[in-house]
Structure 1
Amino acid sequence: MPMSECAELVHIAVIGDCPVFRHGISQLIGTAPDIHLVAAVPSIESADGSLRGAEVVLMDLQQSAPRLAATVTKLRRKGHAVLVVSSSPQLDAVQVIQAGASGYLSRQVGGEELLAAIRAVGAGDGYVSAPASHLVGRSPRFTDREQEILCLLANGSKDHEIAAALGISKHTVQSHLDRIGEKTGSRRRPDLTRIAIENGLTS
């Protein structure tokens, strides 16, 4: 999808324990005029203050799923949106999304998809690559209100229409959608519609 001329610059930091990965990602980001690399470091411990100013942190660490989830939580508390890259979707996709990661990518994705994921997360949306999306799609537990919102969204209702139907504000609807996005790894309406259908939430 072509970027708008007025698209905001996404500031990103890369945490990766493989030097080849950090170098390759840094070179790839250098080809995107709308993405600015703030720092590339081998670990969160070595980052010090170098992550300051990064809205997005892209992370590829050889850690167990619980440790990855703990690192995601730490970065989220510092105000960063987190995009995780991993070769083991079966092990950690669900845990890192539940820990608050905005996106999850298989290491097999191409450069264009990785840049698209960075842009999506930088814009406040979620992104989950295809190899892991079905795992994330099965995992969430939605509240009654979230189920109502997903049902209306899947039936084509816009945010203000959902608000009117449920007797709540548009802002409240968007807050619920943000939480749904955190659970599912995506805030995009097509993805949420698919998830609603898969979970039997359509009428």
Structure 2
Amino acid sequence: MVRVMIVDDHAVVRSGLVNLLHGKMGIEIVGEAADGDEALVKAETNVPDVVLMDLSMPHGKDGLTATGELKKRMPNVEVLVLTMHDDEEYLFRAIQAGASGYLLKSAPYEELLSAIHHIASGNAYLYPSATKRLIGDYLDKAKNGEHAGTYDLLSDREKEILAKVAQGYSNKEIAEALVISVKTVESHKSNLMEKLGLKTRPDLVKYALKKGLLSFE
């Protein structure tokens, strides 16, 4: 049985999801929350396997912030972002925050069920057009020479920093984890992005995702 908690600021949406999912294909709804703050409290009480997380919640913590904090407190809980935002920036920010999946609210019921079971099994899930867009964008940039650099050019330290930056760690957090100065982190990050031909954090996240450097555990 997959224990699921629903986080959405619209009561009608939560009620509809409960009616759709509870008792279907081994799914049990163990809680609901209207914002990120309530989600964090109820997750610790109800211990879900999967949290369906909306992104835009005007009161309390938003979905991205709540996802990041939830993964720090309860790393074994998987987060499936369920949103109306078909936007690349939101997608990568959700991945950085620790979400295991990203699905649009317009998705068919069967796809939602599949996504829940997929990430409950420890896998990552992106809705098909997002995966296609990610791969297409990467290939376009590779064709234009923007990814002329290769992973093998990086030093071991640069590889460590690449993975941590892609996972959403700040320069200060990376410095503390690796016991080096923030200035050293910034220098390594600048060097690795130059070697790989990357210019922005989303570009770096895409590269890390392609290389299998992002952990969803």
Q: TM-score, normalised by structure 1?
A: 0.60
Task: Give the structure 2 partner of residue 87 of structure 1.
Answer: 84
Specify whether residues 63 and 31 from structure 1 end up closer, same or farther in structure 2 by C-alpha distance, changes over 3 A only. Answer: same
* Distance in structure 2 (CA, Å) of the matches to 1:41 and 1:67: 12
Give the alignment of 1:125-136 within 5 angstroms: 125-136=123-134
Matched, 1:180 2:212: yes
Identify which of 44, 51, 60 aligns with 2:54: 60
Q: Which amino acid aligns with 1:180?
A: G
Task: Give the structure 2 partner of residue 20 of structure 1.
Answer: 12
Unaligned runs of 5+ in 2: 139-146, 160-207
Please state how far the C-alpha of 1:113 moved relative to its aligned partner.
0.5
Deviations 1:86-131 (A, max 9, x none): 1112140111012211000011101110011000111111111123
SS of the equivalent of 1:84 reads strand
Unaligned runs of 5+ in 1: 1-8, 147-175, 188-203
* Distance in structure 2 (CA, Å) of the matches to 1:136 and 1:69: 20
* Distance in structure 2 (CA, Å) of the matches to 1:67 and 1:49: 14
Bigger mean CA deviation after superposition, 109-118 or 92-101: 92-101
2:53–2:63 CA contact under 8 A, matched in 1: no
2:36–2:62 CA contact under 8 A, matched in 1: no
* Distance in structure 1 (CA, Å) of the matches to 2:51 and 2:97: 14
Please state how far the C-alpha of 1:135 moved relative to its aligned partner.
4.1
Greater share of residues in helix: 2
Deviations 1:158-178 (A, max 9, x none): xxxxxxxxxxxxxxxxxx99x
* Distance in structure 2 (CA, Å) of the matches to 1:61 and 1:18: 12
Q: Provide the alpha-carbon RMSD of the alignment.
A: 3.3
Specify whether residues 46 and 118 from structure 1 end up closer, same or farther in structure 2 by C-alpha distance, changes over 3 A only. Answer: same
Q: Which amino acid aligns with 1:95?
A: R
Q: TM-score, normalised by structure 2?
A: 0.57
